[in-house]
Structure 1
Amino acid sequence: MIIYKEIEISIHNSIYVATKGLNYYLDKEVRVIIGNQQESDYVDVIKYIIDYIVENKPIVSKNQNIGYYSWLLQFRLEDINYYDLYEVKTDGTEFIKGCDTAISIIREQSEICSYYKLHPQFPSFNQMVVISKGVYEGKDIEAIRYESPEHMSGWWLITDDYDDDIKSLMTVHFHHVAFNRPDILKYLALPFGYRFLIDNNVIHVSKDDI
C-alpha cells in the first residue's frame, strides 16, 4: 500500500490498482485494471488522477474524458463504488478498458527526450497542431515546435506537399494527428525550440536554429 496525498493506493488481487479515500472528493474511488505494464506504471497513472482530483476538485461523471499527458482516458462507471479507467484506442474508434497504450506512449516520449538529454513537454489531447497537406497521408515530415499560447501545442508539421502558401496550412486538434500518425507520437514531447525530420524512415532530431 502507498499513501499519496493522504489517499491510499493499493493492489487488489493483482488485478486492479485502486484508491481508498478519493471518495471524499468524488463519492467514488478510482481503479485501473492491470495489463501488460509494470504495476508501478499503473500506480503512476493513479497518482496523476489523484493530483487532478485533489488539486482541481472537478465534478466527475461517468464517461467523462480526462487527458493523461499526450493520451486520453475516460471514467467509466461499472461498479457503484468505483470509476474504472478506460483509454481511447490508437485509431480513435472507441475506448477500451485499462491504460496500457497511454503508458507506452508516455514512456516512449520520455525515452526519446531522455536520449537527447531533454525534459519532455507533453502536448495535451485538446491542443492544436498546424499541419500541411500530406501529413495525414503518411508522407515524410519536417516538424518544428515553437513557443505558443496554451491552446496550441506549438507543433508545425510540414510535408513536401506544402505549396509555401501559409493560407493552405490547417490548424487541427492534436488527437487527429495522434490517430492519423501514430508513428510520430513518440517525438511530440520534444520541447519548444526543437525539430525533427523524417526522410525515408530516417529520423533526425535537432535544436531549431531560429
Structure 2
Amino acid sequence: MPVTRQDLIQICDQFLNDEISKEQIENYAWTIITSEGELTDEIIDETLIDWDNENMNFPINKANMQLWKKRLTTGIDELPQHNIWNVHIDEQKEICKRYNSKWTPINNKLLIGVSDNLTAEPIHGLRHPSDKGTTGWFIWTGDYSEADDFFKPMCAEHLLQIRPQIIKYLGLDIGFRFLADSNSFEDIWYDETLKQVD
C-alpha cells in the first residue's frame, strides 16, 4: 500500500511526542525508499530522502520535525530558511544596500550575545566591534539590562532554528542597530557610539 502524507504526518507526531527515535525514522525512510519503487508525491519523496540521511540533509530534531509536518500539511517548505545560513545572504545584502551599510558578514561559527526568550517580541540587535571569538552582535527581547548575566554566549548558527528571520540583519556593519517583530515591523539605524566599547 503506498505511503501517504498522512502516514508521514503520523510519524512526525510520534517523534514530537517522544514515541519513536531518530534511528527509527531513518530506518523507516530507508525501508520505504528501497521497497516502494518510484513514489508519485514530490513532498513525500523529499521528506523520505531528508529522513534517510540527516548527515547529508537536515538534522532530525523537534524543530525540523515541526517544519517537515508543516511541509506535509501545507506544502510550505521552511527547512532551508531554518537550516542553511547562505539562504539568507541575498537578503542581508539587500538590507545593507537599503540602509547604506557596508555588507559585513559574520562567521556563523562565532559567538553572539543573546538574552533569554528569543521568541518574544519585539527583538533588538546591535553590533559592536568584534572581540576574539565573537561577532560583536548582541540580541535581546524585552527590556534591556546592564546585568552581567543578561547576555549569554551562543554560536550564531543556532539562531537559524530559534529565530531565522533575524539572520538577514547580521550582515549590517559595526554601529548598526535593528528593531523588528514577526508582523513585518522593522527599524534599522546607525549609532556611532556602538563603535566605542568600554
**Normalised by the size of structure 1, how large is the TM-score?**
0.49
Give the length in aligned residue pairs: 122
Relative distance call for 1:106 and 1:87 in structure 2 (3 A) is: farther
The residue number in structure 2 matching 1:131 is: 114
The residue number in structure 1 matching 2:191 is: 208
- Cα deviation, 1:128-173, whole Å, max 9, x if unaligned, reads 00011121x2431121100022411110112115554222321111
For structure 2, the 5+ residue unaligned runs are 1-55, 66-78, 194-198
Q: Residues of 2 paired with 1:145 and 1:181: CA distance?
A: 17
Check conservation: 1:143, 1:155, Cα contact below 8 A. yes
Give the drift of 1:113: 0.5
For structure 1, the 5+ residue unaligned runs are 1-85
Q: 1:188 aligns with which of 152, 167, 170?
A: 170
Please list, as runs of the form range in 1=range in 2, the aligned pairs for 1:58-97 lying within 5 A after superposition. Answer: none
The residue number in structure 1 matching 2:102 is: 119
Q: Residues of 1 paired with 2:64 and 2:134: CA distance?
A: 21
Q: Residues of 2 paired with 1:193 and 1:88: CA distance?
A: 34
Identical-residue share of aligned pairs (%):
26
The residue number in structure 2 matching 1:197 is: 179
- Cα deviation, 1:105-138, whole Å, max 9, x if unaligned, reads 1111111111122221111121100011121x24
**Normalised by the size of structure 2, how large is the TM-score?**
0.52
Check conservation: 2:85, 2:157, Cα contact below 8 A. no
More strand by share: 1
**2:87 partner amino acid:** S
Check conservation: 1:138, 1:181, Cα contact below 8 A. no
**2:172 partner amino acid:** L
Check conservation: 1:133, 1:162, Cα contact below 8 A. no
- Cα deviation, 1:14-47, whole Å, max 9, x if unaligned, reads xxxxxxxxxxxxxxxxxxxxxxxxxxxxxxxxxx
Q: Residues of 1 paired with 2:99 and 2:184: CA distance?
A: 19
The residue number in structure 2 matching 1:74 is: none
SS at match of 1:168: coil
The residue number in structure 1 matching 2:32 is: none
Q: Residues of 2 paired with 1:163 and 1:117: CA distance?
A: 29
Please list, as runs of the form range in 1=range in 2, the aligned pairs for 1:9-28 lying within 5 A after superposition. Answer: none
Please identify runs of 4+ aligned residues in structure 1 that moved more than 3 A: 86-89, 100-104, 161-164
**1:206 partner amino acid:** W
* Bigger Rg, which one: 2
Q: 1:155 aligns with which of 131, 137, 157?
A: 137
Looking at both structures, which has the greater relative contact order when contacts are Cα pairs under 8 Å and sequence separation is at least 6?
A: 2
- CA-based RMSD of the aligned residues comes to 3.2
Relative distance call for 1:122 and 1:201 in structure 2 (3 A) is: same
